[in-house]
Chain A
Amino acid sequence: MLEFTLRRIVATIPVLLGIIFIIFSVLYLIPGDPAKNIAGPRASEAAIERIRTEMGLNQPFHKRLITYVSKVIQGDLGNSVITGRPVLKSICEKLPYTLKLACIAMIISIVLGIIMGIISAITKGKFIDRLCTILSVTGISIPVFLSGLVILYIFAVKLKWFPASASSPIMLKNPLLSFVLPAFTLGIRSAAFLARIVRSSMIEVLNQDYIRTARAKGLSPWRILFRHGLLNALVPVITVIGLDLSSYLNGSVIIETIFDLPGIGRFAMDAILKRDYPIIQGVILVGAIVFIVVNLIMDLIYAWINPKIRDEMMGKSAA
């Protein structure tokens, strides 16, 4: 297990460096002069030249790349072109909103997804299973912005259970309230996905010999279902949760725009609309790092639970 862990960690280092390289190169290739943008339209040629020297923009590609990489490793993601604030600081301020959103969404998704998956698996082929399948296919196929708008319309406009904007007075008094609708929107989508995975893995597990043995021994159906079935069926779910996290970042761009939440997705969207490149780079980099780290952790848990998978992965990476 230790060897496996080390191998997996070492394998992520070139990926991380590659990501920093790509993000840097894209900025390098973008047309337009960043020094001119910072100096403003009425700056003199001398002032622009000074900024260029200060920022090291007149240095060759490889020197700038090295400077950028070493800065990123030290946690310096540059400053916003528009406000001049350090990008990392802004990201750290915005991240808690999105993390809270993602956590609540994940809880909703896991609870709903697993319940639906189990019901579907034990009623396999019957009406309830069909219904669950239709629901989950629909859930996967409906775009987040549509379900978000419909949920907003029903619960905030028609039923008036929740205010429509996160900046309204009630929401400010009770901040957790503003996460309910957006988290629900994000959560049902991944619940739909999860339900399908749980269903197929549960059906596979319930067909195993040891389940038949447990039945033959006369164990209660519930005990078989939860103790023997579910615990084994949940193993593939771990990977899905890892993949979900990246879909939450994508989803948060849309959801935070619709529900007016000041999280990382809105922050990135605003930066894109204002062409604030250091922020865009910073958010993409942080998003990619979070994805890599979470998937690394999920892989390790996966391998720890199931040694067979570990050997398989080792065999593959050695081949």
Chain B
Amino acid sequence: MSLDLEQVQRIARLARIEISPEEAATARDQLNGIFGLIETMQAVDTTGIAPMSHAVDVVQRLRADVVTEQNRRDAFQAVAPETEAGLYLVPKVIE
């Protein structure tokens, strides 16, 4: 398997990363190298093996339904790029 330029551009779009044609070409070559390494695992027969999502086999701990957090809007918005009237501003959202 190898990626072409169009696929690289599609992935970059999905990931919301602007990528120039030159960058896409470099990325394609590097990704194909990395996928060469990754492909080695395709040869392994894993029939019947359960996927392992977590390093430890424990179950989810559940939190009591209690409000523990206070309003810290000023502190949180002090590091925001653009706010007004307590809202985070972004370019117009079009539905």
Are A and B bound to each other? no
